[in-house]
Structure 1
Amino acid sequence: MLELQFAVPMAGAIICPLNTRLDLNMIATLLKYSETKILFVDYQLLHKAKEAVTLVKTTHSEPRPPLIISEVDSQCPLMFANEYRYERLVKAGANDLPIIRPDSECDSISLSYTSGTTSKPKGLIFSHRGAYLNSLGCVFMHGMREMPTYLWFTVMVGACRGVTHMGGAPTVLNMIANSLVANQKPLPHRVEIMTAGAPPPPSVLSKIEELGFHVSHAYGLTQVYGVGLW
């Protein structure tokens, strides 16, 4: 996912991350309306992805998008003719391909869908300019100073790596707060956490801060290109 955040815009395309917790019909619908050309999928979600792209073809009469599969499990079988292993595909690519830059800073860089908690998911398009401004907003509001170390995979909390910042849903905070004492390591410094979604329970916040974390709660409206905290 981290590589795709850079590779997709550099290829002149638009990235569209999907919520894997949505049901198959909704995922298939989003694949149709987003006009997905290539679908990257983690091997652990391959079965669900294959069912979704099959629905795209049978229900919506749309061509099945090619699948690019992460190569963590070498035993994961390829079933369709247009399936490819991610690492093998990268190795087979050319190293001198030119970067396709946007004609305008207002060109689209990403398409995101809401979680659909109140109705059907709604699509939000971000521009290159908006993504840049939103990144700056995160830096300022998250208190990132010179040479921060950001923990990308939020379930891998490692004090030994010198992490200074991380992000995680309230569920992740709850996992950390209620982890076994034997698995907890003292933090050498305060770690900033940005969380979003439902407000974390006060008991979880109290435990998290006792462990050496400082929590900032952000809310949505990312389409206005700013991070709101309260």
Structure 2
Amino acid sequence: MNRLKRQTTSSAMTDHVMEMILHDIQTGTLTPGAWLKQIDLERRYSCGRPEVRRALDRLAQKRLVVHVPNRGYHVYQPDGRQAREVAEIRILLETGVAGHIVANARPADIETLAGLSANFDRLLQIGTTLELYEANLAFHHQLLSLCGNLELVNLVADIRQRTSSAPVQQWTTRDRVEQSSREHAQMIDALVSKDEAQLTEVIARHIRQSSP
């Protein structure tokens, strides 16, 4: 029982440290490209080395920070060219199966998507950036899975990893987050009305983060 309690306490501390690092990245206290010395983070957040290391590993998985073997961790520094090119590749792949998504979407699938969209909207009001980002991923994974091609779904997931999918890079402004929410609803409307052209247009706009 004591061991379980210690593990729970350690996990809670790791989550706390991760949120603190995320906050400092979002506010610019930890700037893009900045190296993160673990001893400095221990002092800054009043925690131990294991919690800092686990927090950095989790953030590296989310592409918030980059782990360089034998050197350490640094805050992710976005590459605008790469992000644009990856977005265009995603548009080609995801709009290319829009017809299959429309044809395969059953009422139960649409209801599932509506629930994921509602969760995104809820987190828009009360959630952390990381939670919002993960809710967005869940919606898009469910939508794309309706194409019926698992290899394509996995390929898109792999391609996303070639550029930052970090929450701090996901949306440029609060208005853009709210627009993403509206676009989720528009995608669902396109499925309900079986409108392939509308779904294609909204997906492309959503990925490019362009205005309607």
Whether the TM-score (by the shorter chain) exceeds 0.5 is no
> Which gives a bigger RCO, structure 1 or 2 (Cα 8 Å, sep 6+)?
2
TM-score with structure 2 setting the length: 0.25
When you count helix as a share of all residues, which structure comes out higher? 2
More strand by proportion, 1 or 2?
1
TM, length-normalised to structure 1: 0.24
